[in-house]
Amino acid sequence: MGFSRLALSLCVLALALPAAQADVMVIEGPTPIQDGEAKSAGDITVVNEKLAFALAVGSPVPYGVPRGAIIDVAPVANGKIGRDCVVFADFIPDNWSAWPNTFQHIKILERGSAQVVIRTERDWGKVTITSLYTLKSNADAVQIRTTMTNDGPALPGLLSGLTLWPKGGYLFGVPGVAGVASGTMQGALADRVVAHDEHWTVALHAPYADHFSDGSMDMYRLHTLGTGRSQVFEAWLQVGSSGDLKPVIAAEIAHHRLTSGLVRGVITGADGKPVDSPVVVIEKQGKPYAWVLGGHGEYQLTLPVGDYNAYATAKNYSQSAPAALQVTKDAAIVRDFRNLQLPGSIRFAAADSRNGKPMDARISIVEGQKPLVEFLGRKTFFTELERKGQVDVPIAPGDYSFTISAGGGFLADRKQLRLKVVPGHAQAANIALTPLFDPPARHWYSADLHHHADQAEAVTPPADLARSQLAAGLDLLFVSDHDSTVNHGPLQAIAERRGKGFIAGIELSASWGHFNAYPLKVGQKLAIDTATASIDDIIKEGRRQGASVVQVNHPFIPYGYFTSVGAGVAPGGFNPTFDLIEINAGAPADDVKVLQTLWNFWNAGHHYYLSAGTDTHDVWHDESGSVRAFAHIDGAVTAETFARSLKEGHGYVSFGPLVFPSVMFGDELKVKPGEPFVLGFDLESVAGLKQAELIGGGRVLKTETFSGTPHEVHVDFPLSTPRPAWYALIVEDREGHKAYTDPVWVDAIASPFSPGGH
């Protein structure tokens, strides 16, 4: 049938269409998907009875990815289009976006009521990447067929394939290798990854994949693309309107033509009543494989033939004992699960043991029930903003061991707490914590200078970001969302209520490098397109928004700025007007590269300095402030004074040890050539100190090793130098955590009245 303006309006208004009008529809212009990012007049949305997806034609794609990517996906239920579930889903030619490129073409090849077919084309060097997106009437998946055609020299060792970056919710990685950041598909139990929440699923089925990366968000094939040769990748994105994986398993069975059997049963609580919304988790070869949502105490699931284990649970209920399942062809197995224990609850209260004052704290389950299906219950909790030091936690009954932290391991010991949670019972847990160190008393203040809230693929609402950073003992709150400033207002309000400073930042995110700019004027909006911007544009935009600091983030990852400069693919090349270089918690292997680069700059007399950030996107899985930047401030502690101090080199970064110098980092000490002088440092560590290395000119000059496990040490380094020099420190604690300092500059200049003077 045709597509009248009335039909399109009905879709845009998310009204249910009569069954007779159940067609695939194409909508050109701003997407009707709730919270969608496809807002341009040229964007294309495709909708059927089960799902909607939008392609960016005019709108920018996150992270500077070329246009033509899917940037919105949503379930459709009862004729109503749901909320956007993805940041982007796209084809990656070699471990990151199809960049650099010079063109993107998008054409609707077919727009009948039975199916819609859209073709996108883009170049990647001498390779043409063509993708066909097909959505059929009443299908719950969009089929994707991508062809790479090489008109240039042979390209060996490519990692290519589809990617799925969810917007909120949770990620169930490739079964069998879930929980591993990257690797081969050897040991995988399926060829899919599922983004999900309680009310939606988006599964990427990638039968071509033999590698994965980014925790399964990227599904790759390792291959060579010869001159004049093509490579085809077929996949599909399946969308559901609940967190149930039953349709995902059904699709795998159908696609791979697997023989299967049925499992069903009932689930009751210890009170004998049916569990209203049960979940049955399926394990294969001892590893999580899938789950099914039940209703009214019943469940049913079709599985491929094979041997499994299964257990039942529900939100904050106990888990049943596992039951063995032997699924045979066309047979039905009955497995009931009874006596699930009802939820309990704990009221945690954290306080300073010295004075009883409440303390912000992070509470994590170390041992005990940690739900695989994460919308059933958290593994990590934070004390509240308004009731400082307290939080009420509904939780499954059983024996638990918790770790409670205030100060993130920098300021106080983490405390272990063992508790037995009783079904249907509320109990209190009072935790006394003893701070050991107080850097602000010595005018040193800390912040985590690379931290996301809930924009793009990040999943942390602003209030939870604040709770996490406060629990870490950070002195200023900070946010740097990808190309977004929308969370500045909420976080500034929270900081004001708590009497904390707030640093408003943004992560300017091009495909060839990411940069944090801060502190920004609150209320600014991004005014450049990071998909086409040069390094000059990015730095200029940061300054326009008020930033005194532009920081190079994770500079040596595959799409880091220094990597791109080295490869000759950073638009504008090397721009020397950045200020700080980041030590990133997510790229520990690059610490040495960052330090060596800085040391080379210092040897050449350039005053670039250190920064640090965790790159946290999810505070329940990653720990805010596990690496942090410390800055020395005399006077008012504000975003501006903190940034200025770091820019002037009055700082250091740390994964644990604290450093207090006798001569301020970044300052210049004037001495006569060969005249002896001493650099002294007070060192502190909750974990105990191991050693301190004095660095000069890019090499280790002296090492002090500490016997026992001292928490506080003073170390002096007697020195002399015949010429200008710089000295920095690397401190290591007993757990292997390190601190890296900015340099003390030493200006050894002969007196004009001394021999050799002028």
Element of type H or E holding 27: strand 25-28
Residue 466 has pLDDT above 70, yes or no: yes
Q: Say if residue 219 is in the same domain as residue 267.
A: no
pLDDT at 752 over 80: no
173 and 56, same structural domain? yes
Q: Flag whether pLDDT at 1 surpasses 60.
A: no
Q: Does residue 299 sit in the same domain as residue 187?
A: no
Q: Of all residues in the chain, what percent carry a pLDDT higher than 90? A: 93
Q: Of 615, 633, 655, which residue sits at a domain end?
A: 655
Residue 35 lies in a domain: yes
In 396-484 the beta strands, taken as DSSP E runs, fall at: 398-405, 415-421, 426-433, 444-447, 476-482
pLDDT at 565: 97
The secondary structure of 44-78 as a DSSP string is EEEE-SSEEEEE-SSSPPGGGPPTTSEEEEEEEET
Query: Which structure tokens are listed for 321?
Result: 């004992």
The pLDDT value given to residue 757: 34
Cα gap 612→660, rounded to integer Å: 18
198 within a domain of the structure (yes/no): yes
What does each C-alpha distance from 321 to 297, 299, 396 come to in angstroms? 17, 17, 14
Q: Are strands 609-613 and 580-584 parallel, antiparallel or unpaired?
A: parallel
Q: Are 667 and 745 in contact (CB under 8 A)?
A: yes
Tell me whether residue 738 is in a domain: yes
Residue 741 has pLDDT above 60, yes or no: yes
The last residue of a domain, from among 400, 433, 466: 433
Does residue 458 surpass a pLDDT of 80?
yes
The torsion angle over the Cα atoms of residues 197, 198, 204 and 210, rounded to 10 degrees, is 70
Q: Which residues of 628-661 are buried (b: 16+ CB within 10 A; e: fewer)?
A: bbbbbbeeebebebbbbbbbbbbbbbbbbbbbbb
Number of other CB atoms surrounding residue 544 within 10 Å: 14
Residue 254: phi and psi, rounded to 5, are -70, -45
Question: What's the confidence (pLDDT) of residue 101?
Answer: 87
User: For the purposes of burial, counting CB atoms within 10 Å of the CB of 58, is it exposed (0-12), middle (13-18) or buried (19 or more)?
Assistant: middle
Instruction: Show which of 635, 655, 675 is a domain's final residue.
Output: 655
Query: What confidence category does residue 750 fall into, taking pLDDT thresholds of 50, 70 and 90?
Result: low
pLDDT at 16: 43
146 with 200, same domain: the answer is yes
Residue 15 has pLDDT above 60, yes or no: no
Query: Total structural domains in the chain?
Result: 5
**Mean pLDDT for the stretch of residues 514-531:** 95
Residues 103 and 210 in one domain: yes
| pLDDT of 641 | 98
pLDDT digits (tens, 9 = 90+) for 629-667: 999 999 999 999 999 999 999 999 999 999 999 999 999
301 and 211 belong to one structural domain:
no
Instruction: Say if residue 740 is in the same domain as residue 756.
Output: yes
Residue 248: inside a domain: no
Measured between alpha carbons, how far is 606 from 614 in angstroms, rounded to an integer?
26
Asked if residue 21 has pLDDT above 60, the reply is no
137 found inside a domain: yes
Dig out the tokens for 692 from the structure.
Answer: 């301190």
Would you say residue 189 lies in a domain?
yes
Q: What is the mean pLDDT of residues 293-318?
A: 97
Q: What pairs with residue 670 in β-bridges?
A: 747
Cα gap 308→566, rounded to integer Å = 50
CATH number at residue 736: 2.60.40.10
Per-residue pLDDT at 96: 87
Q: Is the pLDDT of residue 751 over 60?
A: no
Burial profile 309-335: b = 16 or more Cβ within 10 angstroms, e = fewer: bbbbbbbbbbbbeebebebeeeeebeb
Are both 55 and 192 inside the same structural domain?
A: yes
Residue 153, in any domain of the structure: yes
Domain around 110: 5-243
User: Could you tell me the pLDDT band of residue 17, with boundaries at 50, 70 and 90?
Assistant: very low
Residue 470 has pLDDT above 50, yes or no: yes
* Same domain, yes or no: 89 and 144: yes
pLDDT for 346 equals: 98
According to the model, what pLDDT value does residue 22 have? 62
488 token code pair:
């500045």
The C-alpha atoms of residue 241 and residue 219 are separated, in whole angstroms, by: 23
Asked whether the predicted pLDDT for residue 207 surpasses 50, the reply is yes
Q: Does the pLDDT at position 754 exceed 70? A: no
- Asked if residue 638 and residue 506 are part of one domain, the reply reads yes
Tell me the average pLDDT across 26-52. 97
Domain of 421, CATH number, reads 2.60.40.1120
Query: According to the model, what pLDDT value does residue 20 have?
Result: 40
Q: What is the pLDDT of residues 403-430, one digit of tens each?
A: 999 999 999 999 999 999 999 999 999 9
In this structure, are 520 and 450 located in the same domain? yes
Give tens-digit pLDDT for 44-97.
999 999 999 999 999 999 999 999 999 999 999 999 999 999 999 999 999 988
Question: 107 and 145: one domain?
Answer: yes
The residue type at 26: V
Q: β-strand 115-124 against 127-136: which pairing, if any?
A: antiparallel
Neighbours of 245 (CB within 10 A): 26
Give me the CATH number covering residue 532: 3.20.20.140
CATH code assigned at 54: 2.70.98
Name the β-bridge partners of 658.
Answer: 684
pLDDT for residue 7 is more than 50? no
Measured in whole angstroms, how far is the alpha carbon of residue 648 from the centre of its chain?
A: 30
Classify residue 251: in a domain, yes or no: no
Extract the runs of DSSP E, i.e. beta strands, from 191-255.
192-197, 200-205, 211-213, 218-225, 230-240
Q: Is 708 helix (H, G, I), strand (E, B) or coil?
A: coil
